[in-house]
Amino acid sequence: MKNKSIPELDKLFNEIGTYRKSKDLMSLFIFIKKFSHIAPYNAMLLHVQKPGSLYVASASEWKNKFNRTVKPGANPLVILRAFGPVEFVFELLDTSALGEDKFPDSLINPFKVEGKISDVAFSKFTDNLKTDGILYAQSNHGTGSAGYIKRSNGESKQEIRTVKKTVLVKVLYELVVNSNHSNEIKFATIAHELGHLYCGHLGSANVKWLDDRRGLTENEREFEAECVCWLVCERKGMENPSAKYLNGYLNEGKDIPNISIDAVLKAVGIIESMINIKKYPRKELVEEVND
């Protein structure tokens, strides 16, 4: 069943009509892609407040990192702060240089498609899947099969080695990808399948941190998963198969499926945390501890 609560971002989508048109949604995604140094949810908030923003930072960051000062009377932009309520940031055009310093053009146009992911980064990413109860495996499939994710029977466990101890974590989901594909294709496949998981398409498995949104249509589920994959890959500078799907759909200028932008951006944030930092298993999933 669909989540009964309606997050504020989805109210913009459903009640006001913001981003209902495909061209508007693509504009939002390109904006979020550009601000890869900011969490996707915060990039969305920036787009709502000031769509043409070039770069944003706090007043102290402007001074200490870029030798710039905020202009008197500049209007701050509001974003969410980790472990706190909100943070105020300012856009580039609301700042002035102190001295001869010039703002790096590379930060205004930071995106560069590299199309590669190292073995170390890929291994770190897949290792982190365990922390959310996901069993990752590769299988010898034909070239037309990329992978899949499904609910587990809940009887299996897998080890996770932390700094001080080894813990056994319950397996809730099984994610399988084609072993014959490159790391880049595997990465995109994982991002797509995790999009299904973290958007709630597989249900919650009685875990508080995951919504049950199994009531969506197949078209809605696939569109959300493709959006997640596109944002994750593009913000990492990687080419991805979702680009063809979304470009073909969003360039037609019609209304998009009844998706949850809130769910998509939260899913992207969860996946990016698995890429960027070492995660620890959710305490609800830890079954046993071996010292």
Confidence of residue 239 (pLDDT cuts 50, 70, 90): confident
Confidence of residue 283 (pLDDT cuts 50, 70, 90): confident
Q: What is the pLDDT of residue 23?
A: 78
Q: What is the pLDDT of residue 9?
A: 65
Q: What is the pLDDT of residue 26?
A: 83
pTM confidence score: 0.84
* pLDDT value at 204 more than 90: no
User: 53-95: per-residue pLDDT in tens?
Assistant: 989 999 999 999 999 999 999 999 999 887 778 899 999 999 9
Residue closest to 187 by CA, chosen among 197, 199, 178, 200: 178
CA distances (Å), origin 60, targets 31, 68, 81, 146: 24, 9, 15, 46
Question: Stretch 283-289: mean pLDDT, rounded?
Answer: 80
Which residues contact residue 100 at a Cβ distance below 8 angstroms, ignoring those fewer than 6 apart? Answer: none
Confidence of residue 4 (pLDDT cuts 50, 70, 90): very low
Q: What is the pLDDT of residue 194?
A: 97
CA distance 286 to 277: 20
Confidence of residue 2 (pLDDT cuts 50, 70, 90): very low
**Candidate from 108-117, 161-170, 270-279 with smallest mean pLDDT:** 108-117
Determine whether 260 is exposed, middle or buried from the number of CB atoms within 10 Å of its CB (0-12, 13-18, 19+).
buried
CA distances (Å), origin 3, targets 11, 210, 218, 222, 224: 14, 10, 16, 18, 15
CA distance 204 to 210: 5
User: 12-53: per-residue pLDDT in tens?
Assistant: 666 555 677 777 888 888 899 889 889 999 999 999 899 889
* pLDDT value at 112 more than 80: no
Q: What is the pLDDT of residue 191?
A: 95
Q: What is the pLDDT of residue 250?
A: 63
Confidence of residue 3 (pLDDT cuts 50, 70, 90): very low
Q: What is the pLDDT of residue 102?
A: 78
CA distances (Å), origin 13, targets 27, 168, 217, 262: 14, 41, 18, 10
Q: What is the pLDDT of residue 74?
A: 95
